[in-house]
Amino acid sequence: MKLFIDIGGTHLRSEIVSEEGIIRDTISSHEMGLLAYIDKQMALHPKIDFIGISYAGQVNNGIITASPNINIDQYDIVGTIKARYGIRSCIDNDLNCAVRAEASYWRSGSIATLFVGTGIGAAVIDEGRLVRGSRNMAFEIGHIPYRESPLHCGCGRNNCIELYASGSGMAKWLKHYGSAHLPDLERLKESTSDEHSVAIQFEEALLHAAGVLVTVANPEMLVLGGGVIEQNPYLVTLLREKLKEYALAPALEGVRIEMSVLENAPLAGAKLLEDDHG
């Protein structure tokens, strides 16, 4: 019996997979910490013998190092699970998980993912290998400097691209303008000038992020996903039409841009962690 978890800034989704079938669960990410959730599942299902976790934050060698959008109840998650239950677990950044699942689905060894939900994140597989960087933070695109703002990012700074090109960023701008609207892009564009500007600056920042990603990673394929993209599928068309204004032309040449068709790519990627030693 195996437990797979995808924890993002909004939801924690899990699947317990065994010969008897799959048990699915979804709770708010703020309802309980990751370790508390694992303790609960281990008490309910003591036969769990492997845990794979997709985590919306920075993770290195099984240890959570930072998470702007999730409250952390234990940093050394893999070590604690081993000490408490004697079982193996793996944890990786959610985009690193997603890109594994997308590479497998699209059968591509040269692929970048850009997902926009509560936050914005990216990951890259090049020549069939995940690009990790020295501390597993390669392509952590949400916190590259973009523009100064009157707002504060979860990481503490005021100029991250996540403040513009993410669901939480849009929500902060709408609150700043006193708007009660949800970040529904097409509705925002038809609304007051402040709300319109939040939607337009989101589109520009998303194009900027995608342009940087394609220029520096030079993938064969760019796959878009995450809640905000799924709710606004026109963004994929926007990127196909306008990315040439934001990416270096030779890097963009021949790049295929697709929307993720997986139901939950980070969770699908968590299932690939068990065999992953790279």
Least distance between Zn ion and beta carbon 228 (Å): 17
Residue 155 makes contact with Zn ion by CB under 5 A = yes
Pattern of binders to Zn ion over 157-196, x per CB under 5 A?
A: ---x------------------------------------
* Token reading at 165: 């090109």
Burial category of 231 from C-beta neighbours within 10 Å (exposed 0-12, middle 13-18, buried 19 and up): middle
- The type of residue at 74 is Q
Pick the closer one to Zn ion by CB: 65 or 110: 65
Q: What is the largest CA-CA distance in the chain?
A: 57
Strand order in the sheet with 88-93: 21-28, 11-18, 2-7, 50-55, 88-93
153 neighbors 144 (Cβ within 8 angstroms): no
Q: How many residues bind Zn ion (CB under 5 A)?
A: 4
Residue 159 and residue 148 in contact, taking contact as beta carbons nearer than 8 Å:
yes
Q: Is 271 in the site for Zn ion (CB under 5 A)?
A: no
In angstroms, what is the minimal distance from the CB of 157 to Zn ion? 5
Nearest to 213 by CA among 260, 255, 166: 255
- Does residue 141 interact with Zn ion by CB under 5 A? no
CB of 182 to Zn ion, least distance (A): 22
Q: Please choose, out of 16-24, 102-110, 149-157, 251-259, the segment that lies near Zn ion by the rule CB under 5 A.
A: 149-157
CB-CB contact of 115 with 107 (8 Å): no
For the CB of residue 144, give the shortest distance to Zn ion in the complex, in Å: 9
Q: Which amino acid is at 245?
A: E
User: Quick check: 66 binds Zn ion (CB under 5 A)?
Assistant: no
To Zn ion, the closest distance from the beta carbon of 95 in angstroms equals 15
3-state SS, residue 261 = coil
Part in contact with Zn ion (CB under 5 A); list of ranges 6-14, 83-91, 155-163, 233-241? 155-163
Residues facing residue 120 across a β-bridge: 116
CB of 214 to Zn ion, least distance (A): 21
Q: Which residue's CB is nearer to Zn ion, number 143 or number 208? A: 143
The answer to the question of residue 143 lying near Zn ion (CB under 5 A) is: yes
Q: Which residues form the interface with Zn ion (CB under 5 A)? A: 143, 153, 155, 160
